[in-house]
């Protein structure tokens, strides 16, 4: 069954569902099979039958249609993802909230309220180690939120701030290049680093341990993790997942990781894929040389069978073996450097 959605799709939801985590990983029952010509469709919603408007060319991250034993047609919607992403829902990992507290919040930053997603252990005596989680170019969608919940299950206070919120919402864009041009390239590094400083300070006031601060970031956030390790002297550890080392220098991005190897304040672990066409191995070698010349405390792991975004379980380039190994290395890096 192929479903093609028009410019605006309206869904009336009213069946056995849960709104937690923006519907992440939940299943919805179609009232009827859909033809390829429909402009809208109906899903039963048990609570208030209120309409949900999706103003993108297709559902926020597409639909997954499957059959149950009763031959009921189901769809799985992964809201929060940009329509520019083609999701691969079969491999999506959904972490529940048992034993943790997970919610959206806001953080005072530079005279504004910075939206963020927070996850932390529910029962804990004393201060918590803090991990700043930095988004991909697609924003703080359900995968990044799930990463926060996974870290909370490991005993961390994990916070993912919405670092594009002043420029726009990535989930409203259908094209990656448009996201880059209208959002990513418009966000000054100084603004991002300041927002992360305010996020860290806010976390400390919420019961985080000022002496146990770490950062991890993915893709765009991987580059930011390197930069933040050269920015905040209070940082204890950083883990950068497939963040670019080099790039064009602009007013908004005057330096890249290869330029700040001598300025690193914290140990950095880099996790990269040998098949990543956007970060060729020549760039990895250049960064390694810069780190050696600076005598920096850093390590770069390259997974031979992985490409870009190999940890992103909602994307086709997810590589489970490399992602699992990288996750364990990240936790070990935090522990080794006093963030646990």
Catalytic residues: 219, 276, 308
Taking a C-beta distance cutoff of 8 angstroms, is the pair 301, 328 a contact? no
Q: Give the residue from 10, 15, 50 showing the smallest Cα distance to 29.
A: 15
Angstrom CA distances, 296 to 228, 263, 267, 269, 289, stand at 15, 9, 8, 11, 10
Cα(266)–Cα(235) distance, integer angstroms: 6
Question: Parallel, antiparallel, or unpaired: how do β-strands 128-134 and 208-218 relate?
Answer: parallel
Give the full edge-to-edge strand order of the sheet including 27-29. Answer: 27-29, 73-77, 63-67
DSSP-derived secondary structure letter, 311? T
Pairing of strands 73-77, 63-67: antiparallel
Rounded-to-integer distance, Cα 195 and Cα 331, Å: 24
What is the sign, positive or negative, of the torsion defined by CA atoms of 173, 174, 180, 184?
positive
209 is written with which tokens? 């341990």
Q: In residues, how long is the chain?
A: 340
Residues 228, 216 contacting (CB under 8 angstroms): no
């Amino acid at each position: 069954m192929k479903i093609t959605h028009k410019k605006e799709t309206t869904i009336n939801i009213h069946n056995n569902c849960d709104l937690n985590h923006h519907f992440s990983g939940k299943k919805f029952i179609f009232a009827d099979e859909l033809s390829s010509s429909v402009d809208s469709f109906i899903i039963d919603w048990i609570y208030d039958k209120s309409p949900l408007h999706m103003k993108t060319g297709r559902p926020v991250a597409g639909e997954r249609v499957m059959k149950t034993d009763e031959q009921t047609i189901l769809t799985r919607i992964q809201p929060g993802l940009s329509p520019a992403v083609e999701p691969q829902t079969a491999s999506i990992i959904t972490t529940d909230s048992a034993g943790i507290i997970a919610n959206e919040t806001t953080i005072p930053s530079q005279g504004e309220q910075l939206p963020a997603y927070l996850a932390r252990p529910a029962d804990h005596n004393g201060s918590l180690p803090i991990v700043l989680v930095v988004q991909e170019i697609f924003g703080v969608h359900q995968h990044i939120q799930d990463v926060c919940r996974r870290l909370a299950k490991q005993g961390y206070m994990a916070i993912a701030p919405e670092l594009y919120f002043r420029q726009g919402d990535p989930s409203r864009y259908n094209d990656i290049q448009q996201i880059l041009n209208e959002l990513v390239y418009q966000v000054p590094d100084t603004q991002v680093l300041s927002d992360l400083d305010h996020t860290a300070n806010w976390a400390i006031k919420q019961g985080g341990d000022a002496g146990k601060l770490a950062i991890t970031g993915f893709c765009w956030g991987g580059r930011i993790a390197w930069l933040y390790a050269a920015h905040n002297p209070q940082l204890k550890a950083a883990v950068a997942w497939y963040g670019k080392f080099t790039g064009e220098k602009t007013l908004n991005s005057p330096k890249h990781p290869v330029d700040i190897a001598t300025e690193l304040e914290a140990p950095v672990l880099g996790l990269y894929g040998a098949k990543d066409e956007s970060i060729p191995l020549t760039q990895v070698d250049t960064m390694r040389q810069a780190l050696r010349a600076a005598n920096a405390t850093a390590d770069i792991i390259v997974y031979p069978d992985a490409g870009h975004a190999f940890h992103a379980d909602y994307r086709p380039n997810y590589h489970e073996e490399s992602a699992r190994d990288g996750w364990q290395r990240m936790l070990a890096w935090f522990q080794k450097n006093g963030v646990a």
